[in-house]
Amino acid sequence: MKTNLRTILLAVFSLFCFISCTTEKTHQNEKDEFITKLMNNMFVEEKIAQLNLVTPSAGTGPFKTKRVVEKLQEGSAGNILSVMGSVERIHKTASLADSTRLKIPFFMALDIIHGYKTIFPIPLGLSCSWDTVLIEKTARIAAIEGTAMGYNQTYSPMVDITRDPRWGRVMEGAGEDPYLGSVVARAVVKGYQGDDLNDETSMMACVKHFGLYGASEAGRDYNTTDMSRLTMFQYYLPPYKAAIDAGAGSIMSSFNDVDGVPATANKWLLTDLLRDEWGFDGVVVSDYNCVQELIAHGVAADYKEAVKKAMDAGLDMDMASEGYSTFLKNLVNEGAIKIEQIDQACRRVLEGKYDLGLFEDPYKNYNPEKPAKVILTEENKEVAKLAVCKSIVLLKNDNNTLPLNKNSKIALIGPSVDDQFEMFSMWSQTGDRQSVITILDGIRKLNENVVCADGTFFTDDPDYLKNDGRFDEAEQFKKEKEAVEIATKSDVIVAVLGESIAVSGEARSMTDISLPGCQVELLKKLKATGKPVVLVLLSGRPLTLEDNLQYADAVLEAWRPGTMAGAGLADVLFGDYNPSGKLTMTFPRSLGQIPIYYNHKHTGRPYIEGEKSAFKSRYLDEKNDPLFPFGFGMSYTSFGYSPISLSDTLMSGNTIQLDVSVDVSNTGDYAGEETVQLYLNDPVASVARPVKELKKFRKVFLQPGESQRVHFKLSVEDLKFYNYELKWDWEPGKFIVYVGTNSEEIQKASFVWNR
Element (H, E) at 71: helix 68-74
Distance CA 577, CA 573 (A): 8
Element (H, E) at 74: helix 68-74
State in angstroms the smallest separation of the CB of 313 from ligand BGC.
18
> Which has the closest alpha carbon to 457: 429, 491, 498, 487?
498
State in angstroms the smallest separation of the CB of 167 from ligand BGC.
12
- For ligand BGC, the closer of residues 287 and 673 by Cβ is 287
Distance CA 203, CA 511 (A): 37
- For ligand BGC, the closer of residues 222 and 607 by Cβ is 222
Tell whether residue 506 is a contact of ligand BGC (CB under 6 A).
yes
Tell whether residue 287 is a contact of ligand BGC (CB under 6 A).
yes
Distance CA 95, CA 694 (A): 48
State in angstroms the smallest separation of the CB of 208 from ligand BGC.
5
Count CB-CB contacts under 10 A for residue 63: 18
Q: What is the 3-state secondary structure (H, E, C) of 340-382?
A: HHHHHHHHHHHHHHHHCCCCCCCCCCCCCCHHHHHCCCHHHHH
**Which residue number has the CB closest to ligand BGC?**
155
Query: Residues 57 to 96: which contact ligand BGC by CB under 6 A?
Result: 81
Residues composing the chain: 755
* CA 530 to each of CA 226, 484, 486, 493, 537: distance values in angstroms, whole numbers, following the listed order: 50, 11, 13, 10, 21
In a 3-state reduction of DSSP, which class is residue 516? coil
Cβ atoms of 307 and 345 closer than 8 Å: no
Instruction: Go through 597-608 and write b for each residue having 16 or more CB atoms within 10 A of its CB, e for each that does not.
Output: bbbbeeeeeebe
**Please, which residues bridge with residue 681 across strands?**
736
State in angstroms the smallest separation of the CB of 75 from ligand BGC.
23
Cβ atoms of 499 and 543 closer than 8 Å: yes
Active site residues: 287
**How many residues lie near ligand BGC (CB under 6 A)?**
7
Distance CA 562, CA 286 (A): 29
Q: Which of 48, 54, 111, 565 binds ligand BGC (CB under 6 A)?
A: 111
Helix, strand, coil fractions of the chain, as percent rounded to 5 = 35, 20, 45
- For ligand BGC, the closer of residues 293 and 682 by Cβ is 293
Contacts of 482 (CB under 8 A, 6+ apart): 453, 454, 455
Q: What single-letter amino acid sits at 150?
A: G
Distance CA 748, CA 737 (A): 6
Distance CA 497, CA 479 (A): 14
Query: Residues 653 to 682: which contact ligand BGC by CB under 6 A?
Result: none
Tell whether residue 288 is a contact of ligand BGC (CB under 6 A).
yes
State in angstroms the smallest separation of the CB of 506 from ligand BGC.
5
State in angstroms the smallest separation of the CB of 188 from ligand BGC.
14
Q: Which of 63, 155, 363, 730 binds ligand BGC (CB under 6 A)?
A: 155
Q: What DSSP state is assigned to residue 659?
A: E
Contacts of 402 (CB under 8 A, 6+ apart): 394, 534, 554, 556, 572, 573, 575, 636
Element (H, E) at 427: none
State in angstroms the smallest separation of the CB of 155 from ligand BGC.
3
State in angstroms the smallest separation of the CB of 151 from ligand BGC.
13
Tell whether residue 208 is a contact of ligand BGC (CB under 6 A).
yes
- Residues in contact with ligand BGC by CB under 6 A are 81, 111, 155, 208, 287-288, 506
